[in-house]
Structure 1
Amino acid sequence: MTAENDLFARLRAALDRDAAIDLFRGAIRHDSITGNEANVAAYLAEAMRTLNLSALQTVDFLPGRPNVWGKRVGVGRGPHLLFIGHTDVVHVDGWRENWAGTEREDPFGAAIVDGAVWGRGAGDLKAGITSSLAALALLDAAGIKLAGDVSFAFVGDEESGQPGTGVSAGIKDYVTRIETGEVERPDFVVYVEPTQLAVYPAQIGFFIADITITGRSAYFGVPELGKDALRASHGAMSALWKHSDEISARAEHALVGRSFLLITGLSGGGYIAVPEKCELSLIRKLLPGESLDQAAAEIEATVRGAIDDLEITVAFSYPAGRDHALGGTAAEIDADRPEVAMLSEAISGALAGRGNIAGAPFWSESPFFVNRLGIPAVYCAPGDIRNCHTYNEHVEIEEFLAGVVGFAAFMARFCGTVE
């Protein structure tokens, strides 16, 4: 038997399936809709205390909204690995009504149905958080001692949608502590967003633009006295769709595809009158290497160029600033890095057919490490992003347990072990 096969055999033999699943389901049962992160942070802190993590900290990034982090110090000399994820989940509006009278009715019930754990936050991303913690418990159960350090950090305020929240306040606080030296700088980061156990070394960037077009109202019988904002918005939208085609044709990234923009909202009109105001909303996808500032400037130029009436005004706002004032930057690391291959092999060893290298079709918080701190980071965790934020959010139990084994194997290989 090879050393690699021996590692997986030891891990599978030591895996306490029930304990790992209970940890996962317990996290779901702690309602942590954005703003209420303290509820699950306390649960995770207790789980981390059970694992005898050192330097365990629970610190508010905003009043009453804590991050929690801690570290297992290795027994030798080796690199430092960080697992990180967000504790907050999106709202549950309509969940109970959708599943009324079934075992899935409680969005925080963590029901097991057809071999999967259901509930809000199951995939996004409590499976990732708890599989990383359960992986360290598995190493302990298997008697495997790490040479290097493994840290865990669980932060709030990643999800958007709740008024006044969702601006990555939690991770901004945490990375600032790394910059000041209060928290030790890791050598490699796994952000546990759901990937179905694929490894994502690249992700898209984005920004949201809200565009207000203002003309002048007039009674419908004398439209020549008005300035029609709705008509102007039609010209703007036509120009924006053309611009989307143009930016899509510029380049294709091997892992995350092509850029585009999507108009997501339109409102406006007048009551038996020339419409005075119209509001558009759009989201722009960016590829790694694209400038967010330049992309926003192009949007503004496109809209202004489509409206040739100087009496119609246009205003732009960008409500979703993340690691950039206007939005979230794209990020990537070299997909051929040895750490990426190591994680891919660890996952595929835990579950055949998984661990493939792909790109994230979403934005999350790895750019804070890759772009701001210069620390390589990937996404990898159990769960399917396609059912997150929906009434069908669930994670297959066997995929979750494979994540536990795969993460444990990666910890052992990355950090090294001491017999």
Structure 2
Amino acid sequence: MSLEPDVRDRILAAVDRDEALALLRQAVAVPSVTGEEEAFARFAAERLAEAGADQVCVEEFAEGRPNAWGVVRGAGGGPGLMFVGHLDTVHVRGWEEHWRGDVREDPFSGAVVDGRVWGRGVGDLKAGICTVIAALQTLRRVGLAPRGDVCAVFVGDEESGEPGSGISAGIKDIVPRIESGQIPRPDFAVYVEPTQLHVYTAQMGFLIAEITLEGRSAYFGAPELGVDAVRAAHEVLSGLWAYTDELERRPSHPLVGRPFLLVTGITGGGYIAVPGKCRIDLIRKLLPGESLDRAKAELDRVVAAAVTDQRVHATVAYTAPRDHAVGGTPNETDPETIGVVRLREAIRTMRPDRGEVQGAPYWSENPFLSTRLGVPAVYCAPGDIRNCHTFDEHVPVDEYLDAVGVFATFIADFCGVRDADAPHPPPHHGARHHEIT
């Protein structure tokens, strides 16, 4: 690392492991299922203020649904860094029944069992948010101030499990604030989705579609009077699976794998009659470099070609707009970007078994930063996405505490630091964008 060893040692010695663990358990104890993020937004804002952020805001992106952000203003002379995470979690339906009689029965207890913190949202992604806050607290405790701005931006509406939500409304409100300079534009960004302290430099894109096929219902005894929508769906399914086979023959991506189309549901009929309506649900995975516009056009053509009965009316609705009208764009950041290099160095110094460059097996909101704002962005945080959204959601205590040291030393290395009581230029205003060499 370019960070002086004695500075690194000072930082790591200042990590208060008990305080950091208590912070995470307190965060889990604040429910924040999508649509109900306000209490946790205020909790995060209060903790950022305690960690030394001198610009802390809680502002609504929709009624009763705020984002929270804070800025630790740089003393000058260093590049800017942003950490981003989402405040909302998926629901807890069935959790208590699953863990009945166990210490983990309460999804918001933050119970520590077998060296792991358990609870809804602990991995996705309150451990990431608390890692950022605890890292800033550590730097303040050791008396070091970053030279570049450090922004922590926590948004709502990332998860998509609740009706009428999950369209990234929170970060859509943040991007114009960065463009206008209200929030400093960073030189590098880390979205704290769980990665087990590996660095995800690439991610899939996606579109979700509902294909509706409308024929004409008729009494079962006179089927000739009807137009069978399920029969039409059979033809469409055959076309979709042929398209899937064609997609999987296309070149794969070294980090993200192969593109595919997955049919996720089919609904039709329900009466003792010719089914007059049928719906097919699907998701299409895209690789970095693929276009959502092209993927939409291909899918529209597949459906149109498959419907051979002209009496059947077919429509395709794209139901999950994110940074694009029909879905979320794929994304990739050069692994040789200086922010990636220094983040990996910080991880491997603490955890030699981690810090690999990998691809995200999910879509999250980095394209808002990289595509729209031109900010190199990656995912990195403690926790394993594979147990998130399940009753087994947990984060290893040691991994989380190691992450606090990683983020604190990474901030110091990337942004540069100076003694907090040293003279420094007066505070600046507006956005800055530093060149890093």
Band of TM-score, shorter chain? over 0.9
Alignment of 1:130-145 (within 5 A): 130-145=130-145
The 3-state SS of whatever aligns with 1:309 is coil
Alignment of 1:277-296 (within 5 A): 277-296=277-296
Q: 1:4 to 1:353 in 2, by over 3 A?
A: farther
Verify: 1:405 aligned to 2:413, yes or no: no
What's 1:236 paired with? Answer: 236
The 3-state SS of whatever aligns with 2:60 is strand
Verify: 1:153 aligned to 2:153, yes or no: yes
Distance in 2 (alpha carbons) for counterparts of 1:92 and 1:71: 32
Residue 244 of structure 1, CA deviation: 1.0
Residue 319 of structure 1, CA deviation: 1.2
Verify: 1:203 aligned to 2:185, yes or no: no
The unaligned stretches of length 5 or more in structure 1 are: none
Distance in 2 (alpha carbons) for counterparts of 1:240 and 1:118: 40
Do the aligned partners of 2:3 and 2:412 also contact (CA within 8 Å) in 1?
no
What's 1:73 paired with? Answer: 73
Do the aligned partners of 1:69 and 1:154 also contact (CA within 8 Å) in 2?
yes
Q: Counterpart amino acid of 1:142?
A: V
Residue 12 of structure 1, CA deviation: 2.9
| Range with bigger deviation, 265-274 or 239-248 | 265-274
Do the aligned partners of 1:76 and 1:418 also contact (CA within 8 Å) in 2?
no
Residue 2 of structure 1, CA deviation: 9.7
Distance in 1 (alpha carbons) for counterparts of 2:68 and 2:143: 26
The 3-state SS of whatever aligns with 1:252 is coil
Distance in 2 (alpha carbons) for counterparts of 1:228 and 1:54: 64
Residue 7 of structure 1, CA deviation: 4.3
The 3-state SS of whatever aligns with 2:218 is coil
What's 2:384 paired with? Answer: 384
Residue 151 of structure 1, CA deviation: 1.0
Distance in 2 (alpha carbons) for counterparts of 1:89 and 1:76: 36
**Percent identity over paired residues:** 56
Distance in 2 (alpha carbons) for counterparts of 1:26 and 1:76: 34
Residue 3 of structure 1, CA deviation: 5.9
What's 1:338 paired with? Answer: 338
The 3-state SS of whatever aligns with 1:258 is coil
| Range with bigger deviation, 74-83 or 167-176 | 74-83
The unaligned stretches of length 5 or more in structure 2 are: 420-437
Verify: 1:266 aligned to 2:259, yes or no: no
1:106-138 deviations in whole A, cap 9, x for unaligned? 011100010000000000000000001111111
Alignment of 1:214-363 (within 5 A): 214-363=214-363
Residue 146 of structure 1, CA deviation: 2.0
The 3-state SS of whatever aligns with 1:190 is strand
Distance in 1 (alpha carbons) for counterparts of 2:263 and 2:397: 37
1:303-355 deviations in whole A, cap 9, x for unaligned? 22112110011011111101111111111111221211110111111222111
1:350-385 deviations in whole A, cap 9, x for unaligned? 222111100111111000011111111110000110
| Range with bigger deviation, 79-88 or 139-148 | 139-148
Residue 179 of structure 1, CA deviation: 1.5
1:205-256 deviations in whole A, cap 9, x for unaligned? 1111001111122232332332211111111111101101111211211110
Distance in 1 (alpha carbons) for counterparts of 2:49 and 2:418: 23
Q: 1:193 to 1:2 in 2, by over 3 A?
A: closer
What's 1:36 paired with? Answer: 36
Distance in 1 (alpha carbons) for counterparts of 2:120 and 2:8: 31
Alignment RMSD: 1.5
Do the aligned partners of 1:217 and 1:270 also contact (CA within 8 Å) in 2?
no
What's 2:435 paired with? Answer: none
Distance in 1 (alpha carbons) for counterparts of 2:322 and 2:59: 21
Do the aligned partners of 2:335 and 2:357 also contact (CA within 8 Å) in 1?
yes
Residue 5 of structure 1, CA deviation: 4.5
Verify: 1:88 aligned to 2:84, yes or no: no
Residue 8 of structure 1, CA deviation: 4.2
The 3-state SS of whatever aligns with 2:20 is helix
What's 1:183 paired with? Answer: 183
Q: Counterpart amino acid of 1:204?
A: M
Q: Counterpart amino acid of 2:184?
A: E
Distance in 2 (alpha carbons) for counterparts of 1:36 and 1:155: 12
The 3-state SS of whatever aligns with 1:418 is strand
Q: 1:268 to 1:46 in 2, by over 3 A?
A: same
Q: Counterpart amino acid of 1:167?
A: I
Distance in 2 (alpha carbons) for counterparts of 1:246 and 1:42: 48
What's 2:98 paired with? Answer: 98
TM-score by length of 1: 0.97
| Range with bigger deviation, 258-267 or 269-278 | 269-278
Between the two proteins, the alignment pairs up a number of residues equal to 419
What's 1:212 paired with? Answer: 212
